[in-house]
Structure 1
Amino acid sequence: MLACTTETDRLPAGLANTEAVIGHKTGTGDRNERGERIGFNDAGFVRMPDGEWYTIAVFIRDSAQEEADDARTIAEISEAVFRHISGLKKK
């Protein structure tokens, strides 16, 4: 999971400009008959700069949005979780 270099616009994007290390695995489903993506996911573990660890999984289902929009949603959740756990305030 640490070697994953794909889909860095999801969970890893929310950790940009931090010293956190992430190992993650993504998943992207096909679209259903309504044009909705049946699954768009990222799950992994994060080692915080202080050495503490946490796990995170974000699953989006039945989305009619573009992949970039769903990826941004996952990145925003990732950032919010990191900030909450680390006690950082958003600038």
Structure 2
Amino acid sequence: MFVVSTLINWYQGSQLVDYPEEWKYTAKFTKWLYNREKIYNSHDISQLDFFVYTAKFYPVYSAIMVISFLHFILVTIYSIWRIRKARYDVSLPLSDKKK
């Protein structure tokens, strides 16, 4: 789901190249990465700015991407925790308490 939502965001954000009037307000990463005050060509726009454009004009797609990413991270952490717990439980020696 994360990969699909990322591709949708990227595609929707690519509309930024068609709207030069938005470059001033939306192409924040391009200005920051390349240290430019003004963008003159659509080829200068960073791919990261496509995601900024999508978040600005299509927030539902961005929310789906963020939620699916967080879900992926949580499932990964839970899986690692469960595997480590299973290894720990198996490796504990049985204790024989003598009374």
Q: TM-score, normalised by structure 2?
A: 0.24
Bigger fraction of residues in helix: 2
Give the greater-gyration-radius structure (CA).
Answer: 2
**TM-score (normalizing by structure 1):** 0.25
Indicate the structure with greater strand content.
1
